[in-house]
Structure 1
Amino acid sequence: MQPRSYNCGLDAAIDVIGGRWKSLVLWALHEEPLRFGELKRSVRGISEKMLIQSLRELEHDEIVHREAHAEIPLRVEYSLTERGQALNTALLPLGDWGESNMRHIAGRRGVEPAPQH
C-alpha cells in the first residue's frame, strides 16, 4: 500500500475525524473526562465496537487520552488532549452551521431533525 499524502490541512483534519462517530465522541468529551459507559450513553446510537474503534483511532492520533486508574475494578477514563481540545474548538463553527441548517438538511434528506434544546 502506498503512503497517503494530504492535499491541504482540511484533508488531514477530515482524515482524523472522518466517519460518523469520531466528531460526536470528541464533542461528548468536551466538558470532562468520561468512562467508557458514560461515553457510550452520551453518543446515542453508537455500537460498542464502533466506540472502541473510534477511541483507538483518536488515541493513536493523540486527540484522545486514555487513562487507566489502578483500582479494582479497573477504572478507565477518556479525555481530550491539548490537540483534541484545539480540534474541538475548530469544530465549533461547523456545529453552529449545522444547527442553523439542520431543518433544511433534514428536510432535503428525509430525516427527522433532533429536538431543539
Structure 2
Amino acid sequence: MVPGITFRSGAAISLDIAWVEFKVGVEYDGDHHRTDKVQWRRDNEKRERLRAHGWILIIVTAQNLIDEMSIAELALRIARRLAERGATIEFEVIAISLEELARKHGYRYDRRR
C-alpha cells in the first residue's frame, strides 16, 4: 500500500514494486490492462494520483522481460530513476563482445570496419 494516497473511492493504492522512500514504483501491465476498460481507467486514475504526489512510475510489459538484454535494460532504467531520487545502486557489469551485443539486437557485426 502507498501511504497517504488513495483512489477517489477511498480504496488504498498499491504498486507491484515500490520504493516508498524514493517515491519510485513499478507496475506490470499485462494485456488485460489495455483490453479491460475498468482496469484501464483504474490504472489511469492510480497513475495520475501517484504522479500528482511526486511519484515516478515505470510501466513494464512482457516485452521488457522477453530476454536477458531487455531485462538488463529495464533494471538499468529503474536504477537510473532511483539514483535520481538519491538511492545508492550497486550493480555488476558483465562483459559482452560487440559481436554478441549486435546479434542480440538483430544486427550484423563486421570486424573489418
Q: Given the two structures, how large is their TM-score scaled by the length of structure 1?
A: 0.28
Q: Given the two structures, how large is their TM-score scaled by the length of structure 2?
A: 0.29
Structure in which a larger fraction of residues adopt helix = 1
Which has more radius of gyration?
2
